[in-house]
Amino acid sequence: MYIAIDGDSVGTKLQQLILEGKLEELKCFSNSIKETLFRFAEILEQQGSVIYMNGGDNIFAECSQECAQIIANYVYRENKKNSVCYSLAVGETAQDTYMGLNYSKSSKMHFVEVIRDGTCAVFKQMI
Give the pLDDT score at 9: 83
3-state DSSP of the chain? CEEEEEECCHHHHHHHHHHCCCHHHHHHHHHHHHHHHHHHHHHHHHCCCEEEEEECCEEEEECCHHHHHHHHHHHHHHHHHCCCCEEEEEECCHHHHHHHHHHHHHHCCCEEEEEEECCEEEEEECC
Give the pLDDT score at 26: 94
Residue 120 reports pLDDT greater than 90: no
Task: Write out pLDDT tens, residues 97-112.
Answer: 999 999 998 887 888 8
Give the pLDDT score at 85: 87
Smallest CA-to-CA distance from 6 within 96, 95, 91, 84 is with 84
Q: What is the pTM of this model?
A: 0.88
Give the pLDDT score at 97: 95
Domains of the chain: 2-125 (3.30.70.270)
Task: Write out pLDDT tens, residues 32-90.
Answer: 899 989 999 999 999 999 999 999 899 999 999 999 999 999 888 888 887 788 999 99
**Exposure letters 75-94 (e unless 16+ CB within 10 A, then b):** beeebeeeebbbbbbbbeee
Give the pLDDT score at 80: 84
Tell me phi and psi for residue 108, to 5 degrees.
60, 20
Residue 127 reports pLDDT greater than 80: no
5-17: average pLDDT: 91
Q: How far is CA 8 from CA 28, 33, 36, 121, in A?
A: 17, 11, 13, 23
